[in-house]
Structure 1
Amino acid sequence: MSIPLLQYSLSTHNHRVNSFEDSGGEEQPRLYTTEKLSSSLEIDEIIWACYRQIFSEHQILSTTRQTFLESQLRFNQITIKDFVKGIIMSSQFRYLNYDVNNNYRCVEMCIQRILGRDVYNEREKLAFSVIIASKGLEVFINILLNSNEYLENFGDSIVPYQRRRIIFQRNKGEIPFNLKIPRLNNSFLAKPFMATLSWSGPVRTFRPQEQKPKAGDPALFLSMLNDIAFI
């Protein structure tokens, strides 16, 4: 018997609130779509935008490219949605993101990059982590790509993007998802963490003002006796 998706409430998040920014400003995301392409250079920009959204910018390497999928997209044999699915189901994405994270972190990262928003709450993170544990990563990815939320915002021909990057005030927004540092890989995690830390400066201690000994305190005479003992 398969485990159904757990129910979770939708908490209010910034991307679900009406925008008050001026239209056409720098805060507005640029839409990359295969509709009405005017030149071959635009398909290159679309492919780059897909890699930048699905992979962190720290992970865009020659080894992460999917040249076969790129060729299919260029000749209109697959949609952007198919291309996104091919990228996120690739062995490179799995090695760099899924294999070195727990299911909770994987859920958070995939929702950010596929649906363009943060997780609603811990309940949503738990619900989808159960799906990954019981049915696998591919089923979880298909649920996101076939959801009404994805289809209504991106459809088959729009590259996913971070839907809202401003919270309340200008220049005080969230960090774009594709600029967040990814989880460290296995080669680093295998090393003892404390062994990598070092501090060459002097070690200073802080004592609150109320804990410092006052005039006439026996602690002052004790420290004086200790100094005399070493003379």
Structure 2
Amino acid sequence: MSIPVLNYSFSTQNQRVDGFEYYPGEEQPKIYTTENLPTAYEMDEIIWAAYRQIFSEHQILSSNAEPFLESQLRFNQIKVKDFIKGLLLSNSFRDLNYNFNNNYRFVEMVIQRVLGRDIYNNREKLAFSIIIASQGLDVFFDTLLNSDEYIENFGDNTVPYQRRRIIAQRSKGEVPFNLKTPRMGKEFLDKQGMPQLLWSGPIRTFRPQEQKPKAGDPALFLNMVLDVSPIGIK
């Protein structure tokens, strides 16, 4: 028996910020869609936009490309939504994002990139984290892609994009969602049980002038000459 999704309020601090649909301007993202029979060049842009949205610009590498999925999309064998799901399920996305985060951070990042908005609150983060832990990533991705929110905003043919502006917070250094990249945080290190290099012994300092000369050192011969010389060496 699967665990039902926790209830959470559909509110966040960013909800009071007007979306792009009300006040379009320079910040408004470009819409990439296959609804108007795109040319080959336009299809290249659609595929690139999907990689940028899901992987972020930091992770767009030739080694992360999915040529089979790209071919299916170009020949209209799959929809843009299917292409997005394929990228989410790819080994590259898992290795670069899921494996380097705990479930809470991963949920926040995926919601930002797939639904184009920030999380509402910590309870929403917890609700989807439970889905990942109990049912796996596949169910988590399907829950987002088949949600009314995704279908109403992007449908089957539009690449997800950031739908709402971000409140400027200098202390947090807010940037667009697709420019954020996961970091190996303290929570991940604790979860993996990675050892820390700690030295329990005494800490000693070394000063060259305190080191005694060894046998054969020329300094010893100088001291010998000073000892036998009746008047010393000046």
TM bin (shorter chain): 0.7 to 0.9
Cα distance in 2 for residues equivalent to 1:193 and 1:164: 44
Structure 2 gaps, min length 5: 200-234
Q: Deviations for 1:140-188, whole angstroms, at most 9, x for unmatched residues?
A: 00000000000000000100001113548xxxx9411111132249xxx
What is residue 135 of structure 1 aligned with on the other side? 135
Cα distance in 1 for partners of 2:99, 2:15 equals 29
Distance of 1:101 and 1:135 partners within structure 2: 18
Q: Alpha-carbon deviations, 1:21-50, whole Å to 9, x = none?
A: 885521211100001135210000000000
Tell whether 2:104 aligns with 1:94: no
Q: Which residue of 1 aligns with 2:76?
A: 76
Q: Distance in 2 between matches of 1:65 and 1:154?
A: 23
> For residue 113 of structure 1, what is the amino acid of its counterpart?
R
2:36 corresponds to: 36
Does the aligned pair in 2 maintain the 1:56–1:182 contact within 8 Å? no
Label 1:160 to 1:191 Cα distance change in 2 as closer, same or farther (>3 A): farther
- In structure 1, the partner of 2:47 is 47
CA shift in 2, pair 1:40/1:183, >3 Å: same
What residue number does 2:148 align with?
148
Separation (CA, whole Å) in 2 of partners of 1:63 and 1:194: 37
Q: Aligned partners of 2:95 and 2:198: how far apart in 1?
A: 25
1:102-126 Cα deviation digits (max 9, x unpaired): 1101100110110011110000000
| 5+ long unaligned stretches in structure 1 | 196-231
Q: Give the aligned partner of residue 202 of structure 1.
A: none
Amino acid at match of 1:35: E
Secondary structure at the aligned position of 1:95 is classed as helix
Q: Using a 3 Å threshold, how does the CA distance of structure 1 residues 60 and 117 change in structure 2: closer, same or farther?
A: same
Between the aligned residues of both structures, percent identity stands at: 68
TM-score for the superposition, normalised by structure 2: 0.73
Rounded Cα–Cα distance in structure 1 between residues aligned with 2:196 and 2:34: 48
Rounded Cα–Cα distance in structure 2 between residues aligned with 1:126 and 1:149: 19
Distance 1:194 1:45, change over 3 A: farther
Contact 2:12 2:119 in 1 (8 A): no
2:58 match = 58
CA distance in 2, matches of 1:116, 1:193: 40
Equivalenced residues, count: 190
1:78 partner amino acid: I
Match status 1:11 vs 2:35: no
Task: Compute the displacement of 1:9 (Å).
Answer: 1.0
Shift of 1:2: 1.5
- Please give the secondary structure, in 2, of the residue aligned with 1:6: coil
Runs of 4+ displaced beyond 3 Å: 12-24, 189-195
- Tell me the distance in 1 between the aligned counterparts of 2:181 and 2:17: 27
